[in-house]
Structure 1
Amino acid sequence: MIPEDLRYTAEHEWLAPADAGAFKVGITHFAQDALGDIVFVQLPEVGATVKAGDSLGEVESTKSVSEIYAPVSGEVVAVNPALEGAPELLNSDPYGEGWLVQLKADDPSAVDGLLDAAAYRELTEAA
């Protein structure tokens, strides 16, 4: 359940190439499973700039409220509008329709420093 073609953070976000040099960001299956039923998502505005490791927003579930962290530094160029009316997409399709934002990375090579699928799998199996 860990897609091989994505990059991951230790905080359970994933990153995938998107259009025009941007990257889609979401939370992993492991994260959504730990959170339980997601009922609300707070995301930044398009045009916001974030630094790697900074808060990108929050996900609220029936169990808790959790921060979402930016995997790379950059500018938010898109926010998933579907999540406003259907935050449960994070549970049902975390790697597809449940993406959170698209970031235009300040330094696209920073993605190389993130975990690959094997390293993320190791991290989640140790948890």
Structure 2
Amino acid sequence: MAFDFPASYRYADSHEYAWQDADSIRIGLSAYAVDQLGDIVFVDLPEVGSDLSHGNSFGTVESVKAVEEMYAPLSGEVLQRNEALLANPEELQKDPHGEGWLLVIRPSDMTQFEQLMDAGTYAAKVAAT
């Protein structure tokens, strides 16, 4: 199956994406990760004001198949969480790179963003699995 990975996004090994918008970063799960999960029934996200640490778990996504941890692609403070997604977790499946975003953070170290994979590298990684 072919997936669309927006070129302006950066990707973590654990399949989260990060998209820079001015001085904030939007975080979500890649279309590949969402596809692997199957039917999503629950999403747990941190509260606004929480601090994320690069590489540490920040929440879970539950599908009919499994419960999976989500990992912070970079450190920062949570400015926003997608409340609509908490109420309707299936939205994550419909539009993971758009309306299915998870968090908006204020990054504490932008070099972490630059260290994430670009879309081409991530697409090659997914194709190799």
- The question of a shared fold, defined as TM-score above 0.5 by the shorter chain, is answered with yes
Decide whether the 8 Å contact of 1:18 with 1:102 is kept in 2.
Answer: no
Q: Which residue in 1 is equivalent to 2:45?
A: 43
* Equivalent residue runs for 1:51-70 within 5 Å: 51-70=53-72
* Equivalent residue runs for 1:4-83 within 5 Å: 4-18=7-21, 21-83=23-85
Between 77-86 and 24-33, report the one with greater CA deviation.
Answer: 77-86
SS in 1 for 2:32: helix
Which of 5, 11, 24 aligns to 1:2? It is: 5
User: What is the percent sequence identity of the aligned residues?
Assistant: 44
1:66 and 1:43 mapped to 2: Cα distance? 12
Q: CA RMSD in A?
A: 0.9
Runs of 5+ consecutive residues of structure 1 not aligned to the other structure = none
- Displaced runs of 4 or more, over 3 A: none
Q: CA deviation at 1:107?
A: 1.2
TM-score in terms of structure 1 length: 0.96
2:122 and 2:8 mapped to 1: Cα distance? 12
- CA-to-partner distance for each residue in 1:74-118, whole Å, 9 max, x for gaps? 111100011121101110000000000011110123210000001
Structure number with the higher helix fraction is: 1
TM-score in terms of structure 2 length: 0.95
Q: Which residue in 1 is equivalent to 2:108?
A: 106
